[in-house]
Chains A and B, each alone.
Chain A
Amino acid sequence: MKNTQTELDAYNRMKPGIITAAGFLGDDLRTLRDIIEADEEAMAQYNITFEYAADFLEFLKASGQAGLGEPITVESRYIVTVGDARGKLPCPWQDGLYHKNSITVSDTKSRVILIYSDLSIHMLKAHHFCQGKGLAFRLDPQDLAKLIKNDRPQSTP
């Protein structure tokens, strides 16, 4: 599948040293379109929408903020730490600026650990971009499925 010019521009901004030192692509050698399509297929297989996953990560972040920077247990299952850094990061698609932060969720049930930021939530929701393989901030669909499903109460988020 051919990348659009917008995707090519976003892809170039995702390289290390442009927006963040590590970039958004990790070890992934695939094109942006290929990364997104593969993750869209995987998310469909796990029967999770990007919007639902993003809302759930937002819910964990909001709940984790009660820890005031220290780890806190959410829903008797997720240990969430919300850390903040100075400044803002622009989305590689240039459709917004997001507070620089780092949310760590450790799921005591599935043993999945995910690290994400406000920008990660936005890219997941708006662009279906889970970030490249080999990156600490990648939101792998399989991990998202384990984190979200696995007998989680239906009432949240």
Chain B
Amino acid sequence: MSAFLVGPLVSAGLTALLALVIVVTDKIVNNYGDVSIDINSGKKKLPVKGGAPLLLTLAGQGIFVPSACGGRGSCGACKVKVLSDVGPHLPTELPYLSPEEIAANVRLSCQVKVKKNLEIELPESLFNVKKYKARVASIKKLTYDIKEVLFELPPDETIQFTAGQYVQLVVPPYDKIKDSVQRAYSMSSVPGDHRHIELLIRLVPGGIATTWVHTKLQVGNTVELIGPFGEFHVHETPKTMLCVAGGSGMAPFKSMLYDIAERNLYPEKEIWYFFGARSKKDMFYLDEMAELQKRLPRFHFIPALSEPQPDDEWQGETGIITDVLDRYIKTTISNAKGFEGYLCGSPGMINACIKVMTANGIPESEIYFDKFA
């Protein structure tokens, strides 16, 4: 053997040996063996392998805690109350937790490693959350940047949900995106259709999930959906509903409105729905909402454009949607039964609507919302 090969071979051999030592050490040091997770004081007891984050360990057992970042610790959604001592809160958790949550040992489940037997508390609604492998049945372009995607569940699967809830769409790795990510989208389908899930997805420039939906997703593809999640729903009162949304914020309201129309729910409720867009090219479902008004005379749809273009020939309301809402509350809608607010959109939009509604006498406790953030 040539002498000049000896050096590199010895070096390669030592590197391989070192790698082997690291792998063996890791197996020994990080082997937490079999442990158990007790949920809600014995309601469920899961025998699991220790060593992985709590979020992933629970998901492996079919219990899906909501997470918008896929376990990177950047969304703060996967909160779980841990009753066992798992050490102090990590610096990565603290920005997402209130002092009350810290005192109650609420943790980000993606940041807590399962190393020993654990006792935790979870909302029981999460026991109904399932992972579905659904087939894309249709994709419709609603505007230049919003798509309506209909998913069909496998023949032996059904989904039970309440209008207003959301699912998490699992986006597989693609192009330069090396890891799977999950994003939450409100369902726009009717709860009575247990075989389909419909989502309205707006393209966020540079967004990983929405870019995938808008450029890669095809009819016939199979995707994973996890759900249902969320507390946003219609409250059973006689009060008049004031709903406000823009863009893909239409989704939960479409689900609620069709559910109400199909089952004639809450017959005493008047429903006013304010939907804002910049110009006509951002507006959609005008025909569907007009048709719904015919089916449901107590439903009133008020679309408004903030910047109508000359060729839009827009005859409807104009202005920022909060101004339109304010105008209608003051001049048009009867407050005989009282009002309750329903909002879906960005934090800025929600806050602006809350300001208008509370200024018009609606208690903040009766304003319900599905905040995007």
Which A residues are closer than 8 A to B by beta carbons? 16-22, 65-73, 82-90, 97, 99-102, 104, 113, 115, 136-137
Where chain A touches its partner, the secondary structure class is: strand
- Residue-by-residue, is B103-127 near A (CB-CB < 8 Å gives 1, otherwise 0)? 0000000000000000000000000
List the interface of chain B (C-beta within 8 A of A).
Answer: 68-70, 72, 74-77, 95-96, 176-179, 181, 184, 204-208, 246-247, 249, 276-278, 282, 306-307, 320-322, 345-349, 352, 372-373
Residues of chain B within 8 A (CB-CB) of A115 are: 205-206
Q: Write out the residue numbers on chain A whose beta carbons fall within 8 Å of the beta carbon of B320.
A: 66-68
* Given contacts A16-B177, A21-B177, A22-B176, A88 and B74 within 8 Å (CB-CB): yes
* Shortest Cβ distance from B76 into A: residue: A87
A84 contacts which of B76, B205, B372 (Cβ < 8 Å)? B372
How far is the CB of B37 from the nearest CB of chain A, in Å?
Answer: 25
Residues of A with C-beta under 8 A to B373: 84-87, 99-101
Nearest-CB residue, chain A, relative to B249: A69
A19-B74, A22-B176 given; A72·B278 CB < 8 A: yes
Taken together as a complex, chains A and B put the C-alpha atoms of A16 and B207 apart, in Å, by 14
A62 to B304, CA, bound (A): 22
Q: Which residue of A lies closest to B279 (CB)?
A: A71
Tell which of A66, A70, A99 has the most Cβ of chain B within 10 Å: A70
For the complex of A and B, list the 6 residue pairs with the smallest distance between their C-beta atoms, beginning with the closest: A87-B75, A136-B206, A68-B349, A69-B346, A84-B373, A86-B68
Measured between alpha carbons, how far is A84 from B69 in the docked complex, in Å? 14
Q: Is the beta-carbon distance between B96 and A69 smaller than 8 angstroms?
A: no
Q: Which of A22, A68, A85, A86 has the most CB of B within 10 A?
A: A68
Q: Cβ of B77 and Cβ of A87 under 8 Å apart?
A: yes
What is the bound-complex CA distance between A18 and B70, given in angstroms? 11
Cα A20 to Cα B348 with chains together (Å)? 23
B204 A68 Cβ-Cβ under 8 A:
no
User: Known contacts being A72-B307, A115-B205, is A90 close to B74, with CB within 8 Å?
Assistant: yes
Most buried by B among A67, A72, A73: A67
Decide yes or no: A70 and B205 within 8 Å by CB, A16-B178, A82-B346, A85-B68 being known contacts: no
Given contact pairs A68-B246, A83-B346, a sample of 19 additional A-B residue pairs in the complex whose CB atoms are under 8 Å apart: A16-B176, A16-B179, A17-B72, A20-B74, A69-B249, A70-B277, A71-B278, A72-B306, A72-B307, A84-B346, A84-B347, A84-B372, A85-B207, A86-B68, A87-B74, A90-B74, A115-B206, A136-B206, A137-B206
CB distance from B270 to the nearest CB of A (A): 24
Complex Cα gap A66–B69 (Å):
27
- 20 A-B residue pairings within 8 Å (CB atoms): A16-B179, A18-B72, A19-B72, A22-B177, A67-B320, A68-B345, A68-B348, A68-B349, A69-B349, A69-B372, A72-B307, A73-B307, A84-B372, A84-B373, A85-B207, A86-B184, A87-B77, A87-B373, A97-B95, A136-B206
